[in-house]
Structure 1
Amino acid sequence: MKKRFMMLVSSVVAAGTLLAACGEGNNEDTTPVNNDANGGNEITENEENNNNDGNNEATGDGEGFSSKMVTDTGGVDDRSFNESAWAGLQMFGDDYPEAEVEYIQSNDASDYAPNLNRLARDGTDITFAIGFLMEDDIRTVAQQNEDQNFAIVDTVVMEDDETISNIANITFAEHEGSFLVGAVAAMHSETDHVGFIGGVESDLIKKFESGFKAGVKYVDPDMEVTVQYAQDFNDASRGQQIADTMYGNGVDIIYHAAGGTGNGLFTEAIDRARNGENVWAIGVDQDQALTEGEWDEGNVILTSMVKRVDQAVYQVSEDTMNGNFPGGEVLEFGLEDDGVGIAETRDNVSDEAIEAVEEYEAMILNGEIEVPQTDDEYEEFESSL
C-alpha cells in the first residue's frame, strides 16, 4: 500500500463565499444532476453530448477534462462534508473554466452504485465518491471499469489486502483536529461536562470521538464527556433531540461529527440561547459559523474542526488533469499540511485557548502528544494522564 502526504493548495477562501453558488454549475455548460428517489435515469442534454472515452487530453484551461462527484445521502447542501467537496470542485472549475464539473445527489444508499456507474459510463475523467459509505459500491464499479479513474473520501478501498489501482484514497487526520477542539471545549466549559454527537458509529467517526475526548481530558482529566450516536447522517430532528437531552443533563458544549444530523444541534443551541441559556456548539468539516441560513441569528458556534475536503478534491482533480492520477495511493491530510485544524473564525474562543491550541498542535507534530484514533487507544491515552 502506498501512502503519501500532500501539500494543500495555498488559496484559502471563506466558506460562505465558496458555497454561495452551491447547487449550480460553474459555467453554462455545467449542469448538476439531482437524482430522484430511484437513483435517477434522467440524462441532461449536456451529458448526452459528453465524450465517453474516459481518456480526454486536457489543455491548460481544462478543456476536455471532467471531474464529477457523487454525494452521500446528506446532499450537496448539507453545510458540511458534501458541501465542502462541491465547493472544491467549484474552485477547480473557476480556475480551469473549460473543465466540466458536476455532482449527482444520492437520496438513498441504493443510489450510490447507479450514480457511480452513470459517471463511469459517461467517461468522466475523475469520479469522486464522497463518503466512506460508498466503499463497497466504488470497489465494484471501479473493478468493472478498469479504464476509469475514481477517488473516495474518508476510507481506503482494499481488495485482497491491496489498494485498487484506479481508486485514489483520500483520508484525513480527523483525530488530530478533534483533539484541538476538545481542548477548546474543556477550557470554555462552565459545567465541566461536554458532549459529542456522532452520526453512524464507525471507525471513521470513532477518530473524531477519540480525538475530542482526548483533547478534553488532556486539559482536565476529571471533566465528564457524554457520547451518543444518532446512527444517521441525515436526521436533523434526531440530532436536535440528542442535543436537547445532553444540554438538559448539564452539558454546556457539544461537538458533532454527524453531517446533516448535526444541523439539529445548532437549532437546539439557538433555541436555548434565546431563552438565556449559556450553551455552545462546535461545528465540523467546514467553518460552520460562516454558513448562511437560520443559524445566522444565533451566535452559538464556539469553533469548528475544519477538514479541508474542498482542497483535497481540488488537488486530486488538478493532479489527475495533469496526468498524475494517484491511483492506488492513500493520501492523508493532517495538521502538518493544514488538512485539519480549528476554524479561522475565533471570535468566541479565548486568547488563552488559542495559545493552548498552538502549543498542543506543536506537541502533536513533534510527537509529544500521540492522539488516539480508536476506543482501545483512547483508553490507553486516558490511563496515562
Structure 2
Amino acid sequence: MKKRLSLSLIVLLTFVLAMTGCGSKNPAQTETGGTTTGGTTAGAEKPGSKLNIGMVTDVGGVNDNSFNQSAWEALQKLNKETGVNVKYLQSKNDSEFVPNLNQLVKNNYNLTWGIGFIIGDSLKTVAQQNPEAKLAIIDNVVEAPNVVSVTFAEHEGSYLTGVVAGLMTKSNKIGFVGGMDIPVIKRFEAGFVAGVKAVNPNAKVTINYTGAFDKPDLGKAAASTIYNDGADIVFHAAGATGDGVFNEAKDRVKNGKKVWVIGVDKDQSLTFGDDVTLTSMMKRVDTAVYNISNDLINGKFEGGKTIVLGLKDNGVGLPETSKKNVPEDVLKKVDEYKDKIVKGDIQVPDK
C-alpha cells in the first residue's frame, strides 16, 4: 500500500512540474532603481537585448520634469521596443560626472549619454581617455571622433513663447527665470525677449537667474519677486528649479490671483496642470536620445557628428495642448512667426 502511494505521489509531482514548465514565460522587463533590463517576447530575441545603453544626469536629477526626465523616458521606450538594457546614474554634484561616466564606460556599455551642458568637459575627458567607447551628449558640443553631440535652437522655440506672452500679458510685465547662466539658457532668454518685443514693444521683461537647476525653493523665491512686481506671466528655463516657479503660481491662483507659467523642455501642463501652465517650450530631447540610441542598435552610430535641432526639424516648438489656454488668434500669430523663422525671414538672436 505504501509503495503504491509513493508511486502515485511521484506521478502527481511529475505532472505538476511538467505543467509548470509548459506555463512558464520569458522574463518580463523589470526596473530596479536606475536600471531597466530587456527581456524577450514569445521566445524571439529582440534586436537590442545584448546591448547596454546608459546615461548620466546632471545635478537636476532624473525626475526633474525636464530634459533629464525626457532622456530617461526615451531610453525606457527604446527598452520596451528593442530589449536594449538601459541604466541611469544620477549626479548630485559636478565631481560625480567623471566617475559616473567612467562607471558605464568601464562596464562596457555600448553607448554612454551625458545629459546637460555642464557635463561637457567631463564627457570630453572620458571620451579622450577611452577612444574605443561610444558616447553622446545633450546641450553641448564635444569635439571627439567617438562622441555624437546634440544641441537645439532653443532661441527659436523661445521666440514663439515670447510671442504668446507678449500678446497675452495684461500687465505688460513678464518674467524669465533661468537656472545657471550658461550659453544654452542664454539662448532661451534671448529668443524669449525678442519674441515679446516683436509683438509688444511696451512690455517689460524681468530676468532672474537662480544659479541652479536643482533648487525649487530658489525658483519659487525668484517667481515670487517677479509676480510681486506685477508680472502675470513667467517663463522658466531652470530644470527642477522651475518646479518652484509652478509652486508659486499655484499658491497665487489658489488665492484668487491669475498668473501663468510657461514651461520648458516637456509639455509641463501634463505635470503641473492647465490652471497655471500657459504653454511650454518643448525641446525634443526624447526624440534625439531615442533616434541616436536606436542608430547604435542598428549599427549606424556616427561618432564625431554634431546635430542641431530647430523649428524646421520639429526639434523645438509648442505642444498641442497650448490651444487649451492660448486663443486661436494668438496661435495663428505664432504660426506666422514660425514660418518666417523657418524661411529665414527672421533671424532670432541667440545671446
Q: Normalising TM by the smaller chain, what interval?
A: 0.7 to 0.9
Equivalent residue letter for 1:67: I
- What is the distance in 2 between the residues matched to 1:264 and 1:29? 32
Question: Does 2:141 match 1:156?
Answer: yes
3-state SS, counterpart of residue 345 of structure 1: helix
3-state SS, counterpart of residue 255 of structure 1: strand
Equivalent residue letter for 1:136: D
Equivalent residue letter for 1:185: A
Which residue of structure 1 lines up, in the alignment, with residue 167 of structure 2?
187
Contact 2:29 2:80 in 1 (8 A): no
Which residue of structure 2 lines up, in the alignment, with residue 83 of structure 1?
69
Deviation digits for residues 251-280 of structure 1, max 9, x if unmatched?
Answer: 110000000110000000000011111110
Q: Name whichever of 337-346 and 240-249 sits farther off.
A: 337-346
Equivalent residue letter for 2:203: M
- What is the distance in 1 between the residues matched to 2:28 and 2:278? 36
How many residue pairs were aligned? 317
Question: Does 2:112 match 1:132?
Answer: no
Deviation digits for residues 112-159 of structure 1, max 9, x if unmatched?
Answer: 1110000001111110000011111111111111111000100111xx
Runs of 4+ in 1 over 2 A off after TM superposition: 26-34
Contact 1:31 1:102 in 2 (8 A): no
Which residue of structure 1 lines up, in the alignment, with residue 207 of structure 2?
227
Question: Does 2:176 match 1:196?
Answer: yes
Contact 2:264 2:281 in 1 (8 A): yes
The residue correspondences of 1:42-191 to structure 2 (distance < 5 A) are 61-96=47-82, 98-157=83-142, 163-191=143-171
Which residue of structure 2 lines up, in the alignment, with residue 367 of structure 1?
344
Shift of 1:229: 0.3
| Cα RMSD, aligned residues only | 1.7
Which residue of structure 1 lines up, in the alignment, with residue 220 of structure 2?
240
Equivalent residue letter for 1:319: D
Which residue of structure 2 lines up, in the alignment, with residue 333 of structure 1?
309
Q: Name whichever of 280-289 and 68-77 sits farther off.
A: 68-77
Which residue of structure 2 lines up, in the alignment, with residue 319 of structure 1?
295
Equivalent residue letter for 1:188: M
- What is the distance in 1 between the residues matched to 2:233 and 2:30? 45
- What is the distance in 1 between the residues matched to 2:179 and 2:161? 18
For normalisation by structure 2, the TM-score amounts to 0.87
Task: List runs of 5+ in structure 2 lacking aligned partners.
Answer: 1-26, 38-44
Identity %: 46
Task: List runs of 5+ in structure 1 lacking aligned partners.
Answer: 1-25, 35-43, 47-58, 158-162, 375-385
Q: Pick from 227, 235, 238 the counterpart of residue 255 of structure 1.
A: 235
- What is the distance in 1 between the residues matched to 2:31 and 2:276? 37
Deviation digits for residues 2-58 of structure 1, max 9, x if unmatched?
Answer: xxxxxxxxxxxxxxxxxxxxxxxx954654439xxxxxxxxx9x8xxxxxxxxxxxx
The one of the two structures with greater contact order (alpha-carbon pairs below 8 A, sep at least 6) is: 1
The alpha-carbon distance between structure 1 residues 120 and 208, as it changes in their structure 2 partners (threshold 3 A), is same
Which residue of structure 2 lines up, in the alignment, with residue 277 of structure 1?
257
The alpha-carbon distance between structure 1 residues 231 and 326, as it changes in their structure 2 partners (threshold 3 A), is same
The residue correspondences of 1:288-307 to structure 2 (distance < 5 A) are 288-291=268-271, 295-296=272-273, 299-307=275-283
Which residue of structure 2 lines up, in the alignment, with residue 345 of structure 1?
321
For normalisation by structure 1, the TM-score amounts to 0.80
- What is the distance in 1 between the residues matched to 2:217 and 2:31? 34
Shift of 1:334: 1.0
- What is the distance in 1 between the residues matched to 2:79 and 2:318? 27
Contact 1:29 1:100 in 2 (8 A): no
The alpha-carbon distance between structure 1 residues 268 and 350, as it changes in their structure 2 partners (threshold 3 A), is same
Deviation digits for residues 266-323 of structure 1, max 9, x if unmatched?
Answer: 00000001111111000000000002xxx34x71100000000001000000111112
Going by fraction, where is helix more abundant, 1 or 2? 2
